[in-house]
Structure 1
Amino acid sequence: MNKFILMFLLLFLGAGALLAQTNLGTIQGTITDKDNNPIPGLNAALRGTTLGNVTDADGEFTIGEIPTGSYQLMISGVGYQTQRRSVNVTEGQTLQLDFTLQPSLTQLQEVEITGRKETTYQNEVSFIGSKTATPLQDVPQSVSYVTKELILDQAAFRVNDVVKNMSGVNQYSFYNDITIRGFRVAGQRNSGNLINGMRAFTSFWKQQLIPHIERVEVIKGPASALFGNASPGGTINRVTKKPLDETRQSITATVGSFGTLRTLADFTGPMTEDGTLLYRLNLGYENADSFRDLQYDNNLIVAPSFSFLPNDATRLNVDVVYQSSDGRLDRGQAVFGDGDLFSVPITKALNAANDYLREESLNATLSFQHQFTDRIKFNSVYLHSNYREDLQEHRAANRFAALGDGGIDPEQVAMQAFIRRRNWSNDNFNNYLTLDLTTGPLEHQLLVGYDYFRQTLKPGGSQLQARRYLLADRTGTSNFDPENADAFALDEAGNPIPNVPHFDLTDPFANQIRDMSDYVYDTRLFPQSLLHNHGIYLQNQVTWGPLQVLIGLRQEYYIDELDYRTEDEERVSQDAFIPRLGLVYELSDRINLYGTYVEGYQPQSASVINDPDAGGPFDPLISNLIEFGAKTQWMDDRLSATLAIYRLRQEGALYNANDPDNPDRQVQIGEEQSQGIELDITGQILPNWSIVANYAFNEAVIQVSDDETEENRQKPNAPRHTGNLWTKYVIDRGAFAGLGIGVGINLVTERFGSIVPEGENPPLFPGYEVVDAALYYQLDKFRIQVNVNNVLDQTHWVGGYDFIRAFPGAPRNLLTTISYTF
């Protein structure tokens, strides 16, 4: 890593030499919008001088009599995003510099209120890196994203469908469960999943739906200086579609393999003639089966959004997302005890026909921005989130069936059954003030803010659980002990009788309805809990010529009230001071170099883990990131690329203890580290040729552990190498105009499963290469597309815990989509 630092400093110092001056020249150019129309009335000025001009009716400008030297040319104007470009002027030279500007929908806002009008794979501005509308080029940290255009082209419907398009981001399991740079980000935690930059409670079991999402973005590494409680690997932010100030309407229908039926609708535009009130309504419905036995999904999404813009200084937005889901919880594929992944079909799930998982969630956001002066802006955002879980399931007990002689039956999976209901409520309140200042040659964008977050597990959370083996009197259960076999109910062969019948992997009728009335149940309570935190943070983004410095500080106060409102109520408090430092240097008008150091913090109290049987108390996760990289723009800013080199360290991660008496107990690992390199390329090679490509090398290892056999081993579900390419080409002229083709390939190397008992080797899941393809045809307002996923029908596994919980990827499947825009 010292070599990386030295390289960065040499590049930094070498770039300074470019600023040396030599004596008169001229700059001229043309400024157009994204549709190639000239833009009159824009300012073209050399920063730090009085030299400048305004574009004429043809969008042209000329700045003459410029002393030779190095300058920064700034193009700005109302309604468009400002562009800056470093230029070198030499005597007698006339520089021709042309610009294409994007509409600015973020001049007054510091959270997104009105929608993004771009219609490409590329996104240029985000709030996730600094809580202000900052060009991604100027964010001193790697940020990957997927826009709604790529989501549509790949016929994606869930976050897990699109993470392959972002370097260093992979599936961990079937669930809402992702790994970023080798560190896990999972649902039912408030540390790694954001919606519009706010912490929302999400399901752990079901992957997050995205038909109402403008883009999915990931900031790599801990983002605790901005958001407080944050996952070390990174933070996933889902940005919902916002109202536009122009009318757009579309209806989409998809049918395909596994009985898939999806219908989507998206309506937006002004509600008043003066455009002060805008609306957007997204609707989504899915009814689909699966390649996995008994699995199905019925999903409904209703997402209205309203923006009120009474004047140029004030903006108000109301954003609501309601989702309901009905299906079954798929715990993965079990194979025979010898670990042959091909010994059992990837279609076989362990559910019973009377299992179900019903979920309901509501996220309601109120955002307010007001600009007091051209330098002072105030932002206030409130998010209320509800999540309800109603579950009945049969699942593996994470071991094979016990035999009376102490052995196991490798074709029979020990089972358990749960009936569970829980309900959470979240409130997130965020207020911050931004102040633009100039002190001599320095330009400052100061931000001071206060966050409050509150999460409540409501009364009534409880679970009936049936597991283990029946005792001789059949009134109780326990783990089978062959040394005390007489204490247990035994069958004719002398084997213990399970409380929940074993699942026979060789039985084609094993998924039948199960009679649950004879099970012996234990009652497990989830006592009402309350956790909340307060965060005070400061941030200064300083610009000095081509150099930008970001300094952030946050003080976090975390409180968890266990057994809330009971005699056993216990208050757990933790504080954390979190710094952040970032540098961006504009090496040229196309290349920015950056470096960053940031620390991370994530509490792991009982309420956060949502599992009283996990053990503990546990210390919080502590992490830090050092990262250097470069960000570039090419081909008239149509194509962007980010190269990142990083080292990420963490202390205190939790892993399953593999305790036969308590399968939910976890243990805390000492130290982990991931280091590697990532490359992301996104945009257009030509206006009709789009591309998304990424590669990541990630060495993520456990460095310190109580079990020495785990040390220096690659972390679970963290491949060393991943790569992805997706490209789409559309014929734009001739007899085949409107016809397009898309092709993609996703490569993932082998991965270890989860930690296993001491002395045993973890399961190894093979690498894979999956090819996808698509055909498109655009005819006026109609578009039809056919997506073929896993064209070569490769059997593969996207992740896994062990050989009883492996997560196979889908075989070859086809989706046909028809869209109408009006």
Structure 2
Amino acid sequence: MKKNYVFFIAFLTFSMVWAQTEIKGTVYDENDLPLLGATVMLTSTEGTTTDFNGKYSFPGLTEEEYTVTVTYIGYGTQTNTVTVENQETILLDFSLVPSVEKLQAVEITGRRARSYKNDVSYSATKTATAIKDIPQAISYVTKELMSDQQAYRVNDVVKNISGVNQFSYYDDFTFRGFRSGDTYINGLRVIGLFGPQPLLVNIERVEVVKGPASAMFGNSIPGGIMNRVTKKPLAEDRKAINFTTGSFNTLRATADFTGAMNKNGSLLYRLNLGYENSDTFRDLQQFKSFVIAPSFSFLPTERTRINFDLVVSNFDNNLDRGQPIFGATAGTDLNSTPISFAIGQTSDYQKSDVVYSTLSLSHNFSDKLSFNASYIKYLFEEDLLEHRTSNQFAIDGLGQQIPTLMGMQVINRQRQQIADNISTYFIYKENTGALEHTILAGLDYNEQKQPEGNAVSTARGYLLNDGTSSTSAGDFADFQRDEEGNPIPNVPHFDLENPEYTVARVSNYVFVDRAFDPTKYFSYGFYIQDQIKWNKFQFLIGGRQEYYNDIVNFDRPDEEKTEQKKFLPRLGLVYAATDNINVYGTYTESFQPQGVSVQNNPLTGGPFDPISAYMAEVGAKGEFFNKRLSANLALYYIENNNILVNANAADNPELLRQRGQEESLGFELDINGRISRNFTLSANYAYNQATISESNVEEEIGERKENAPLNQGGFFGKYTFDNGVLKGIGLTLGSNFVSSRNTFESSLQLPEYTIFDAGVSYTVDKFNIRLLVNNFTNKTHWVGGYSYVRLFPGAPRNYLLSVGYTF
């Protein structure tokens, strides 16, 4: 009897557990991807968080009515009420939508979305503003697209941004036909690097604010600014490692770890690591570099947030000056040398270190008033030895060019540059009647210094009879001569037909030593901005008073200083034409002061007027497929005035002239996001007519600007199978095209090209393997170029194979 009683109790207990009532489901983000770490509350008393697959469950419930509420930082709260009865299991899924109002004013905690689509920009307005509500074109590339393209540098991703193309191999681009200027990290100006391309392992996304951005950043070029946003810590645990091999002896490794460091989640961390040791398709060129990038976010209260980033980068490469071809006297055959062909010597090197730290603070005094500040210190050190072209061909005994012999020079340079940038501002939100105001007022300070101790030694030109050297044609009669009567170069000419690469004996050259004068450039600006909402309209009204200060011989008795100032307005209007589509219009200006080194140098022909520009732009921004896909269309006109160019005076190579005026007219389209849960897409197209409209050289008028293609665009798509025998397999296909471009040589034009990339991936559980073939048709092409001696070919067919694990 006792045994039967025990059996009965056990059976009853098992039956209750087996037949228990339960609410369970999956929480998705706006891109239908599982959301890890979302908080799910049951009638405000019992709570849980979603797991790696976005799943949650509440087992063992009684039969009654329950309210389920899901919250997640950066997303709008969702609530659903259900009634549980008859010991049933109820499936209740949620799809959260980003909420701009809930985002921090300074980007301190990380972006949680995992998509090609980005919803919010901080750099365009210095407030957390939905991109569709910003009256200016904003293009971007997210880390998810970088990952699928196995991109490691910015040069690898600019093809995804409309109206942007490479100018050279360096951190050097064209925006809407205008050559890029300063570099920005987290919205703060730093030193533009010449040579080493920073790795992307710690970059969340690359943004381009199109057109003049001086109202936000002070001096800037008229085409736009590129901002690199670093990865910030996340509240949930995410860990990923990845190893890559491939063509050109490529070896890469990356790691990305993030999560909470304490139980209440008030201290978060993120650690990004990257390493590369690779050759390239270019002779003598390789990439050896590493990045260590820790980041910490401290959230002591709901009102205060602090973030600290540290990035340590090392580069041990050669400075690739591009491909030379035979001179103009031998025609303009781009194939006269192979695309792998480079000038240099085996013993050349470029060693550089980049270290920067960023500190950001956001504090809400109340629901209406907040204070925000960001500071960056950026240090760059370089040790360089290079054999490079002297930008001219050799000459014979009659002074005529020899198109197969390249004139050479050697540069041995050591330098350090330092940048400090701080941005502080208040945000105040208030309603006046039917108008909703977001008022921003602040002060920015930017400083860049080249301290005492920088120096360079240069060997170039031809040897003179007295044992010195000269680059002046006026000394032609005094050049030393060889047995054939040709001038003897200080650095041996480089034979384009029979190249030789050796360990150079630089002690045989005649060097001229020069110490760089210490310099300091600083600017500061006061600005105010009001973002106004009224019914379906949004207005952006802003202005900035900027002061520019340029100093040479800094902190010396002969210190020289140039001061300039400028008021910079900004106007914008957004209208919600439908629930999904906004149309907008904007007017902005840009300003670039002429540096003191140009203004006070008697050889340049100055003083010169500052560079000024304005832009008028209209467009439309929309979200489709349940807000999973964004599309932005922009039409613009830019006028740029007082551009400095070399006067090409034979008797004074330093003489400059102001070209007059340049114009850029065009339209752009960017598409990013998901069409379905399986299909992800990034696509872009740009038509840009950038021409010289005014010049004192009549032949220039009407010419297209250098490295400014009339048409360019491309796409990259990924389709993933999520069921059946192909479950976990992903297919990618991409293409980009660029039309013909002018160079600085009027007789040399770079041809149009179209290249294709394709790949396949396989994901099972937390393991992923990717194979990508770039330029699989092996199209010969050039991504940029200056002249016959400086062309920049694109990579031939190559592959990348990566293996990754997420845990």
- Partner amino acid, structure 2, of 1:405: L
How far residue 661 of structure 1 moved from its aligned partner, in angstroms, is 6.1
Instruction: Specify the alignment match of 1:800 in structure 2.
Output: 785
Residue 140 of structure 1 pairs with residue 130 of structure 2: no
How far residue 515 of structure 1 moved from its aligned partner, in angstroms, is 1.3
Instruction: Specify the alignment match of 2:86 in structure 1.
Output: none
SS in 1 for 2:506: coil
- Partner amino acid, structure 1, of 2:116: Y
Residue 780 of structure 1 pairs with residue 765 of structure 2: yes
Residue 566 of structure 1 pairs with residue 556 of structure 2: yes
Q: How does 1:267-346 map to 2 (within 5 A)?
A: 267-337=257-327, 338-346=331-339
Q: Is the 8 A contact 1:252 1:263 kept in 2?
A: yes
SS in 2 for 1:744: strand
How far residue 732 of structure 1 moved from its aligned partner, in angstroms, is 0.7
Q: How does 1:747-766 map to 2 (within 5 A)?
A: 747-754=737-744, 756=745, 761-766=746-751
Instruction: Sort the Cα spacing of 1:614 and 1:267 in 2 relative to 1 into closer, same or farther, 3 A.
Output: farther
Instruction: Specify the alignment match of 2:510 in structure 1.
Output: 520
How far residue 405 of structure 1 moved from its aligned partner, in angstroms, is 1.3
Residue 436 of structure 1 pairs with residue 417 of structure 2: no
Instruction: Specify the alignment match of 1:491 in structure 2.
Output: 482
Q: Unaligned regions of 5+ residues in structure 2, if any?
A: 1-25, 44-64, 79-92
Q: Is the 8 A contact 1:100 1:636 kept in 2?
A: no
Q: What is the root-mean-square deviation of aligned Cα atoms in Å?
A: 2.5
Q: Is the 8 A contact 1:40 1:57 kept in 2?
A: no
Instruction: Sort the Cα spacing of 1:613 and 1:268 in 2 relative to 1 into closer, same or farther, 3 A.
Output: farther
TM, length-normalised to structure 1: 0.86
Instruction: Specify the alignment match of 1:257 in structure 2.
Output: 247
How far residue 207 of structure 1 moved from its aligned partner, in angstroms, is 2.2
Q: Is the 8 A contact 1:526 1:612 kept in 2?
A: no
Instruction: Sort the Cα spacing of 1:584 and 1:641 in 2 relative to 1 into closer, same or farther, 3 A.
Output: same
Q: Is the 8 A contact 1:31 1:59 kept in 2?
A: no
Q: How does 1:320-719 map to 2 (within 5 A)?
A: 320-337=310-327, 338-480=331-473, 485-508=476-499, 510-606=500-596, 616-659=606-649, 666-719=656-709
SS in 2 for 1:294: coil
Q: Which of 233, 243, 246 does residue 223 from structure 2 map onto? A: 233
Q: Determine the C-alpha separation between the residues in 2 that align with 1:612 and 1:40.
A: 73
How far residue 610 of structure 1 moved from its aligned partner, in angstroms, is 14
Q: Is the 8 A contact 2:449 2:521 kept in 1?
A: yes
SS in 2 for 1:517: helix
Q: Determine the C-alpha separation between the residues in 1 that align with 2:605 and 2:727.
A: 63
SS in 1 for 2:675: strand
Q: How does 1:147-296 map to 2 (within 5 A)?
A: 147-186=142-181, 191=182, 193-296=183-286
Q: Determine the C-alpha separation between the residues in 2 that align with 1:741 and 1:393.
A: 43
Instruction: Sort the Cα spacing of 1:295 and 1:660 in 2 relative to 1 into closer, same or farther, 3 A.
Output: farther
Q: Is the 8 A contact 1:530 1:607 kept in 2?
A: no
Moved more, 469-478 or 785-794: 469-478
Q: Deviations over 1:188-209 (max 9, x none)?
A: xxx3x21001111231222232
Q: Is the 8 A contact 2:598 2:606 kept in 1?
A: no
Q: Unaligned regions of 5+ residues in structure 1, if any?
A: 1-29, 43-55, 61-75, 85-97
Moved more, 654-663 or 269-278: 654-663
Q: Determine the C-alpha separation between the residues in 2 that align with 1:178 and 1:589.
A: 36
Q: Determine the C-alpha separation between the residues in 2 that align with 1:303 and 1:660.
A: 49
Q: Determine the C-alpha separation between the residues in 1 that align with 2:605 and 2:803.
A: 51
Q: Determine the C-alpha separation between the residues in 2 that align with 1:270 and 1:219.
A: 32
Instruction: Sort the Cα spacing of 1:691 and 1:661 in 2 relative to 1 into closer, same or farther, 3 A.
Output: farther
Q: Determine the C-alpha separation between the residues in 1 that align with 2:657 and 2:75.
A: 50
Q: Determine the C-alpha separation between the residues in 1 that align with 2:129 and 2:312.
A: 30
Q: Is the 8 A contact 1:480 1:496 kept in 2?
A: no
Instruction: Sort the Cα spacing of 1:278 and 1:492 in 2 relative to 1 into closer, same or farther, 3 A.
Output: same
How far residue 568 of structure 1 moved from its aligned partner, in angstroms, is 2.0
Q: Determine the C-alpha separation between the residues in 1 that align with 2:635 and 2:160.
A: 18
Q: Deviations over 1:349-378 (max 9, x none)?
A: 001111111111111111111000001010
How far residue 723 of structure 1 moved from its aligned partner, in angstroms, is 1.1
Q: Determine the C-alpha separation between the residues in 1 that align with 2:130 and 2:497.
A: 57
How many residues were matched structurally?
A: 739
Greater gyration radius:
2
Amino-acid identity (%): 48
Q: Determine the C-alpha separation between the residues in 2 that align with 1:661 and 1:780.
A: 70
Q: Determine the C-alpha separation between the residues in 1 that align with 2:28 and 2:199.
A: 37
Q: Is the 8 A contact 1:167 1:696 kept in 2?
A: yes
Q: Deviations over 1:693-728 (max 9, x none)?
A: 111000000111121111111100000000111111
Q: Is the 8 A contact 1:279 1:306 kept in 2?
A: yes
How far residue 469 of structure 1 moved from its aligned partner, in angstroms, is 1.0
SS in 1 for 2:670: strand
Q: Determine the C-alpha separation between the residues in 1 that align with 2:158 and 2:558.
A: 43
TM, length-normalised to structure 2: 0.88
Q: Is the 8 A contact 1:106 1:112 kept in 2?
A: no
Q: Is the 8 A contact 1:108 1:313 kept in 2?
A: no
Q: Determine the C-alpha separation between the residues in 2 that align with 1:168 and 1:80.
A: 31
How far residue 478 of structure 1 moved from its aligned partner, in angstroms, is 3.5
